[in-house]
A = this chain, B = another copy of it.
Amino acid sequence: MKKLKISANVIRRLPRYLQYLDRLQDAGVVRISSGEMGRQMGFTASQIRQDFSYFGEFGQQGYGYNVETLRREIADILGMSRLRTAVMIGAGNLGHALMRNFHFAECGFQLTAAFDVDPVMIGTAVRDIPILSMDALESYIAANSPDVAILTLPGNQVETVARRLADCGVRGIWNFTNEELKSAREDIVVENVNFSDSLLTLGYYLANRRNGSEQEDRN
């Protein structure tokens, strides 16, 4: 059970382990070995055991892992045991899509409010999430101290908004604008969902299709 210096590669596999274990649990599976997990997920058993070992000893020799325990441990590592709250900045189409369809609770978050500048929207609510005026941003955050802000607003306003959020103590930003967001102070965690990068990458593989039988996981 070490600490510190766990690579981003490892961290990005954790959500996949979690979701895989969710499915096992739903299917009523009680125990799983790293070998079987590897086979099903397309990882090596070594990698799976190595990954887990950064965080603790969750298995048992000769038996494997208890699905429910392992799932809970990983959920815990991902911070899901505490409930964290989020606010959304920008309640346009993308914001609405997330409010209506995304299961925040399954990731351990509660979305408590959205903010927008459009007077038509302000005062309404989507799925119990009130849409408030951007003018109320600072006072709301001061009163409710949400953990993260979700940026679903037009890209040109990002820098300004990010600074406002940092100034009033938001700890994390989930950034859906296709903008860099370097301005964020370094004590803020930023996670980018960059549609452009993603589509451009797809475009590359489309144009440069591996023509041999080789294919598989480009991660």
Contacts and interface: CB of A to CB of B under 8 A. Distances in A.
Chain copies in the assembly? 2
A62 to B, nearest CB: 30
A86 B209 CA distance: 17
Size category of the binding interface on chain A: 35 or more
Contacts of A92: 97, 101
A148 B202 contact: yes
A78 interface: yes
A199 B11 contact: no
Contact of A15 (B101, B147, B201): B201
21 contacts: A12-B201, A15-B194, A15-B197, A79-B203, A79-B204, A80-B200, A93-B94, A93-B101, A96-B97, A101-B154, A107-B196, A108-B200, A148-B202, A148-B206, A172-B206, A174-B198, A186-B215, A186-B216, A189-B205, A191-B205, A193-B198
A208 B207 CA distance: 39
A194 B77 CA distance: 19
Given A19-B196, A93-B97, A93-B100, A172 B78 contact: no
